[in-house]
Amino acid sequence: MISPSSGTLRSSWSRARRALVVATAGLLAAAGLIALPNTADAATTLGASAAERGRYFGTAVAANRLGEAAYASTLNTEFNSVTAENEMKWDATERTRNSFTFGAADQIVNHARSRGMRVRGHTLVWHSQLPSWVGGLNANDLRAAMNNHINQVMGRYRGQIDSWDVVNEAFQDGNSGARRSSPFQDRLGNGYIEEAFRTARAADPNAKLCYNDYNTDGVNAKSNAVYNMVRDFRARGVPIDCVGFQSHFNSASPVPSDFQANLQRFADLGVEVQITELDIAGSGTAQANSYSRVVNACLAVSRCTGITVWGVTDKYSWRASDTPLLFDGNYNKKPAYTAVLNALNASGGGGGAAGCTLTYTETQRWGDRFNGQVTVTAGSAPISGWTATVTVHSPQRVSTTWHGSPTWDSSGTVLTMRPNGNGALSAGGSTSFGFTVMANGNWTAPTLGSCVATA
Ligand code: G2I
């Protein structure tokens, strides 16, 4: 029960705190130290701010950096999605035919999922980081090896990956719009991409299946070729759910002026678009402005569901000398970071859209079960109600819930929770609901889904 008196206390405290925050921010803004977003109660991390806009904000991570305290704390605080930078690639997972190694990939997946972050899978079929044995196979063998690789790697993480880059970088650079030469292309022909997507759908029906590429960010011959392929797949029912735009930018290849229009034309084919490997060479205001443009383009396209930057800190970037990321080598926030946060927190064209976010904590554990608590926090506007989804992982079962009104999907694993007297939240205000999960041997933390607010 939430008593009226504690509600009053909390809201007057949060009003006082908000007044202090706004006053302090106002002083800093007046001194020119920060740019104020045009909302009163902006979230303060990339992940939370993106979530208020119905999107994720992710980063590529390297398993061998997770032990570095500042790396892990920046990751854990700021991001709500991860991509393995190298650990799920073919040369990492199947260096020798049909002998699979998942240690480093497991580390990343476990790190992310135990903290409620989502995971993008990268990547199954790619000409690079491909062990040489693959190139030595004849067509029949190669087809079998490709499908086996997809089945084994996707099978390992079945139900745990939000989106998979099924095929990566299959088109040539330049104006030809042609396919890139690779063992797959050269031996299996054009049909290999379609075959990979069909195999992937069966291997993990819950994962969104993406085609991912670079230099496809604006309208050009290469992006036209990808567009035509995706349109054809959609028309023929070949399973594809998303297109990834890597978005590696520098002065020779800046954010294109038609970036948003290009995202939109793909979205209009009915697929999600995701910015999957964002990094922008440079520093200071110029770099910050480019980052803002990318974030604003994604926010303007309703099917643009998330942004991933290609690393946590400049010092471990694949092109460190370009200082292309949001945190410098000492994990200080760069102007680019502030620009991204402000763009995410700006209320956008509609102004003041109601939103809410979810956070998860395990509150108690016994030998056979644990209690979970989900906190629902309103965004920059008050809300009158919310709908939150939470997925537990079979064979887990939820035995009881409290402080909410639950409904279940047919599998019994997807909980949709609505308020039970705790729907109305002030801007920035929060409430919680809870549940007991019978682990049945699986101690994976539940995955948080969407939070949909009623204004
Ligand atoms: O090249 C940038 C990205 C382009 N799109 C696909 C991405 O998968 C690709 O990521 C980069 C990683 O960021 C690098 O970390 O892919 C490179 C390889 O194609 C990765 O570099 C490799 C080095 O080449 C290896 O020498 C090294 O052992 O990283 C490996 C692990 O640190």
Kindly report, residue by residue over 48-65, the tens digit of the pLDDT. 999 999 999 999 999 999
- Tell me if 130 CB under 6 Å of ligand 1: no
- Given this model, what pLDDT does residue 64 score? 98
Residue with the bigger pLDDT between 418 and 377: it is 418
For 173, phi and psi rounded to 5 degrees? -75, 170
**pLDDT at residue 377 in the model:** 83
Give the mutation target among 59, 64, 86, 248 for probing the ligand 1 site: most ligand atoms within 8 A of CB: 86
Confidence of residue 353 (pLDDT cuts 50, 70, 90): low
Whole-number Å distance between alpha carbons of 277 and 311: 8
Confidence band of 268 (pLDDT split at 50, 70, 90) = very high
Higher pLDDT, 20 or 296: 296
Averaged pLDDT, 261-286: 98
64 close to ligand 1 (CB < 6 Angstrom): no
What spacing in Å lies between the alpha carbon of 129 and ligand 1's midpoint?
8
**Confidence at 347, pLDDT banded by 50, 70, 90:** low
Distance CA 5, CA 254 (A): 55
Predicted confidence at residue 423, as pLDDT, reads 93
85 CB less than 6 Å from ligand 1?
yes
Candidate from 139-148, 375-384, 410-419 with smallest mean pLDDT: 375-384
- pLDDT score recorded for residue 105: 98
| AA identity, residue 313 | T
Q: Is the pLDDT of residue 25 over 60?
A: no
Strand partners, 359: 375
Which position has the higher pLDDT, 454 or 199?
199
Is it the case that residue 134 has pLDDT exceeding 70? yes
Among 28-42, 296-310, 330-344, the minimum mean pLDDT is found in: 28-42
pLDDT number for residue 356: 76
**Looking up tokens 């303060």, which residue turns up?**
44
Residue labelled with tokens 């793909």: 266
Strand (E) or helix (H) holding 432? strand 430-438
Q: How far is the CA of 207 from the centre of ligand 1 (A)?
A: 24
Query: Is the pLDDT confidence value at 37 over 60?
Result: no
Nearest CA to ligand 1 atom 31: 86
Instruction: State residue 361's pLDDT score.
Output: 84
CB within 8 Å of 69: residues ≥ 6 apart: none
Asked whether the predicted pLDDT for residue 40 surpasses 60, the reply is: no
Whole-number Å distance, alpha carbon 360 to ligand 1 midpoint, is 33
Which pLDDT does position 417 carry in this prediction? 92
Best of 83, 85, 276, 325 for a ligand 1 pocket test (most atoms within 8 Å of beta carbon): 85
Per mean pLDDT, which range of 84-88, 334-338, 393-397 is the poorest? Answer: 393-397
Give the C-alpha separation, 303 to 308, whole Å. 15
Q: Which residues are catalytic?
A: 169, 277
Please tell me the distance between residue 318's alpha carbon and the centre of ligand 1 in angstroms: 6
- Residue 56 has, within 13 A of its CA and on its CB side, a CA count of 26
pLDDT grade for 38, boundaries at 50, 70 and 90: very low
Q: Kindly state if the Cβ of 129 falls inside 6 Å of ligand 1.
A: yes
For ligand 1, whether the C-beta of 277 sits within 6 Å is: yes
CB 154 within 8 A of CB 200: yes
Give the pLDDT mean for 217-228. 98
Which of the listed ranges 224-228, 417-421, 445-449 does the model predict with the highest average pLDDT? 224-228
| Residue bearing the bigger pLDDT, 335 or 454 | 335
Instruction: Kindly tell me if the per-residue pLDDT of 425 is higher than 70.
Output: yes
Instruction: State which of 318, 319, 322, 325 you would mutate to test the pocket of ligand 1, scoring each by most atoms of that ligand within 8 A of its C-beta.
Output: 318
Q: Please indicate whether residue 217, judged by its CB atom, sits closer than 6 Å to ligand 1.
A: no
Tell me how far apart the alpha carbons of residues 160 and 360 are, in angstroms, rounded to a whole number.
17
Query: For residue 214, what pLDDT is reported?
Result: 98
Tokens 């409430």 identify what position? 431
Q: Which atom of ligand 1 is nearest to the CA of 317?
A: 13
Going by CA atoms, what residue is nearest to atom 7 of ligand 1?
Answer: 85
Question: In the predicted model, what is the mean pLDDT of the chain?
Answer: 89
Q: What's the rounded Cα separation, in Å, for the pair 36 and 48?
A: 17
Q: What is the DSSP letter of 313?
A: B
* Ligand 1 atom 22: residue of nearest CA: 86
Average pLDDT over residues 293-308: 97
Which atom of ligand 1 has the smallest separation from the CA of 129? 19
Q: Is the minimum distance from the CB of 128 to ligand 1 under 6 angstroms?
A: yes
pLDDT beyond 60 at 280: yes
Q: Is 407 touching ligand 1 by the criterion CB < 6 Å?
A: no
Residue with the nearest Cα to atom 14 of ligand 1?
A: 318
**Backbone phi, then psi, for 244, in 5-degree steps?**
-100, 135
- Ligand 1 centroid, distance to 279 Cα (angstroms): 14
Q: Is any atom of ligand 1 closer than 6 Å to the C-beta of 319?
A: no
Which of 174, 165, 169 has its CA nearest to residue 276?
Answer: 165
- Whether the CB-CB separation of 323 and 284 falls below 8 Å is answered with no
Which residue has better confidence, 33 or 182? 182
Question: Higher confidence at residue 241 or residue 447?
Answer: 241
pLDDT, one tens digit per residue, over 79-120 is 999 999 999 999 999 999 999 999 999 999 999 999 999 999
**pLDDT beyond 80 at 76:** yes
C-beta of 176 in contact with ligand 1 (< 6 A):
no
- Tell me, using a 6 A CB cutoff, whether residue 77 lines ligand 1: no
